[in-house]
Amino acid sequence: MQARSSRAALLTVAAAIAALTLVVNASSCATAGQGGSPGSDASSDEGATPDATMDTSTVPQEGGGECDADTMTDPDNCGSCGNKCASRDTCSCGMCTPPCSGNLTPCCGQCVDVNTDTNNCGTCNKVCPVPNGASPVCTGGSCSFTCPADAGAEGGAPLVFCGADAGTPGCYDLTSSSQACGACGKTCPGTDVCVDSQCCTAGDGICGGVCTPLDTAQNCGACDAGCAAPAMCMAGMCVGYVQSIG
């Protein structure tokens, strides 16, 4: 009789434990569904941290961060991301420039005339080159140059205007320029120099219309300035005997 009572008590305790376990499990499932337990969709959380691999380079950032804009010309990101110019301003070279009057063009924080400005010829920052011996000019937005007042036409006076069609453009003395020796575009080869409009070896002179060395006993320092024997010509001077045979 006493054994049956003990067994019944044990069965009652086991049933109570089972019922309590079911209650605990049900409570855990409900908590997981509300609080985002492992396995729930994190993307639904409003405060979720962005994926570290997400590309943010195209997102405008305050304070000069990266953005998908040309900060040299974009009026909404002028000079740096988020730097917005005033409503009528233009962004040029990363600088906000107020509207210009007349025919002037906003350019890098100032107003310029691109038709005549040699530093902004035709467009901002287009600098006209300075040819040999010339002065650059900007006319109608195109670069050109002028020569001194005494310069002649191509092939004329010693100092002439040589255009790009005749070699390297510029103003040249045709009697002495190795880039335009005797005529525009005639360049002396190698180390030759221009002597009286002829390409000669360095140190030569023009004697009888031709290039002639001036370090010989017959032409020492000048045409027909010979040295009497036994003198020798050294550095354009007769040495060893001073009488000239010229």
pTM, entire model: 0.53
Pick the residue with more confidence: 165 or 232? 232
CA–CA dist 109, 121 (Å, integer): 16
Cβ atoms of 129 and 143 closer than 8 Å? yes
Q: Residue 63: what residue type?
A: G
DSSP for 168-199, please give it: S-EEEETTT-TTSSSSTT-PPPTT-EEETTEE
Backbone angles phi, psi at 169, to 5 degrees: -70, 150
Query: In angstroms, how far apart are the furthest CA atoms of the chain?
Result: 164
Cβ atoms of 194 and 181 closer than 8 Å? yes
pLDDT tens per residue, range 65-113: 578 888 988 989 998 999 999 988 889 888 898 888 988 999 888 899 9
Long-range Cβ contact pairs of 83-91 (< 8 A, separation 24 or more): none
Instruction: Say what the pLDDT of residue 87 is.
Output: 87
Pick the residue with more confidence: 121 or 161? 121
Instruction: Say what the pLDDT of residue 151 is.
Output: 64
Pick the residue with more confidence: 199 or 48? 199
Which of 199, 229, 232, 198 has its CA nearest to residue 215?
232
Mean pLDDT of the chain: 75
User: Residue 133 above 60 pLDDT?
Assistant: yes
Instruction: Say what the pLDDT of residue 76 is.
Output: 92
